[in-house]
Structure 1
Amino acid sequence: MRYFPFFHDLHNKCCLIVGGGTIALRKARLLIKAGARLRVVAPSVGPELQSLVAESGGECLFERYNEHHLDDAVLVISATDIDVVNEQVAGDCHRLRLPVNVVDNPSLCSIITPAIVDRSPLIIGVTSGGEAPVLARMVRSRLEAIFPSRYGLLGSLASRFREAVKARFSDGEQRRRFWEKTLQGPVAEQVFANNLEKAEQLMAQAIDQAGDDTLGEVYLVGAGPGDPDLLTFKALRLMQQAEVVLYDRLVSQPILELVRRDAERIYVGKKRDLHAVPQQDINQRLVDLAKQGKRVLRLKGGDPFIFGRGGEEIELLADNNVPFQVVPGITAASGCAAYSGIPLTHRDHAQSVRFVTGHLKEGSSDLPFNEMASANQTLVFYMGLVALPEICLKLISAGKDPKTPAALIERGTTPNHQVHIGDLETLPELVKNTEVHAPTLLIIGSVVALHSKLNWFDQ
Structure 2
Amino acid sequence: MSLPSLPLFHRLAGQPVVVLGHGEAAEAKRRLVLRAGGKVIEDLAEGIDIGARLAFIAHEDEGACQADAIRARGAGLLVNVVDKPALCDFTTPSIIDRDPVIVAVGTGGASAGLAKALRLRLERMLPQGLGALAEALYAARGAMRTRWPTGPERRRALDAALEDGGALDPLREGRDVAGWLAGAADGASGRFVIALRSDDPDDLTLREARLLGQADAVVAGPRVAAAVLARVRADAMRLAPGDAEPHGGIVVVIEAAA
Fold match, TM over 0.5? yes
User: Could you tell me which residue of structure 1 aligns to residue 75 of structure 2?
Assistant: 96
Report matched runs for 1:268-287 at 5 Å. Answer: 268=241
Q: Distance in 2 between matches of 1:3 and 1:263?
A: 18
Find out whether 1:192 has 2:169 as its counterpart: no
Q: Which moved more, 1:98-107 or 1:134-143?
A: 134-143
Report matched runs for 1:224-303 at 5 Å. Answer: 224-247=197-220, 250-268=223-241, 292-302=247-257
> Structure 2: which amino acid aligns with 1:205?
A
Q: Which moved more, 1:172-181 or 1:24-33?
A: 24-33
Report matched runs for 1:172-187 at 5 Å. Answer: 172-184=151-163, 185-187=166-168
Would you say the 8 A contact 1:243–1:296 is kept in 2? Answer: yes
> Structure 2: which amino acid aligns with 1:71?
D
Q: Distance in 1 between matches of 2:197 and 2:124?
A: 27
SS in 2 for 1:32: helix
Q: Distance in 2 between matches of 1:258 and 1:240?
A: 6
> Structure 2: which amino acid aligns with 1:7?
F
Which structure would you say has the larger RCO, counting Cα contacts within 8 Å and 6 or more residues apart? Answer: 2
Q: Which moved more, 1:142-151 or 1:235-244?
A: 142-151
> Structure 1: which amino acid aligns with 2:31?
R
- Structure 1 unmatched runs, 5+: 42-64, 269-275, 278-284, 303-438, 440-459
> Structure 2: which amino acid aligns with 1:168?
R
Q: Provide closer, same or farther for how the CA distance between residues 295 and 149 of structure 1 changes in structure 2, counting only shifts above 3 A.
A: same
Find out whether 1:202 has 2:204 as its counterpart: no
Report matched runs for 1:282-361 at 5 Å. Answer: 292-302=247-257
Shift of 1:94: 1.2
Would you say the 8 A contact 2:44–2:72 is kept in 1? Answer: no
SS in 1 for 2:197: coil
Would you say the 8 A contact 1:223–1:255 is kept in 2? Answer: no
Larger gyration radius, structure 1 or structure 2: 1
> Structure 1: which amino acid aligns with 2:167?
P
Shift of 1:95: 1.1
User: Could you tell me which residue of structure 2 aligns to residue 140 of structure 1?
Assistant: 119
Post-superposition Cα deviations, 1:368-411, rounded to whole Å, max 9, x if no partner, equal: xxxxxxxxxxxxxxxxxxxxxxxxxxxxxxxxxxxxxxxxxxxx
Post-superposition Cα deviations, 1:400-427, rounded to whole Å, max 9, x if no partner, equal: xxxxxxxxxxxxxxxxxxxxxxxxxxxx
Amino-acid identity (%): 29
Aligned length: 253
Would you say the 8 A contact 1:106–1:129 is kept in 2? Answer: yes
Shift of 1:10: 0.7
User: Could you tell me which residue of structure 2 aligns to residue 170 of structure 1?
Assistant: 149
Find out whether 1:4 has 2:31 as its counterpart: no
Q: Provide closer, same or farther for how the CA distance between residues 2 and 301 of structure 1 changes in structure 2, counting only shifts above 3 A.
A: closer
Given the two structures, how large is their TM-score scaled by the length of structure 2? Answer: 0.81
- Structure 2 unmatched runs, 5+: none
Q: 1:219 aligns with which of 186, 192, 205?
A: 192
Q: Distance in 2 between matches of 1:118 and 1:103?
A: 22
